[in-house]
Amino acid sequence: MKTLLFLGNIGTGEIILIALVVLLLWGGKKIPELMKGLGKGVKSFKEGMNEIEKDIKIDDTPKTEK
């Protein structure tokens, strides 16, 4: 079984408990906004990584001299 480095062995009960604590702290209306912001951040990160990979591939192409 895979375990996360910082969480150790986490089960269904612990996940439910964490979800309830998050719900109590931020409320039901705020959670969708938080997830939307998190999704935008992940999308932006992936786009940045793709741009860097493209730049590296362009720099690695051999240049021909005339």
Structural domain includes residue 23: no
pTM of the entire structure? Answer: 0.51
In a 3-state reduction of DSSP, which class is residue 4? strand
Structural domain includes residue 51: yes
pLDDT exceeds cutoff 70 at 4:
no
Count up the domains in the chain and report the number.
1
pLDDT exceeds cutoff 70 at 62:
no
Structural domain includes residue 2: no
Residue pLDDT, tens place only, 17-38: 988 898 888 888 888 888 899 8
Instruction: Taking each helix axis as running N to C, give the angle between helix 12-26 and helix 30-60, from 0 to 180 degrees, rounded to the nearest 10.
Output: 110
What percent of the chain lies above the pLDDT cut of 90? 26
Structural domain includes residue 39: yes
Structural domain includes residue 34: yes
Q: Choose from 12-16, 42-46, 56-60 the range with maximum mean pLDDT.
A: 42-46
Structural domain includes residue 55: yes
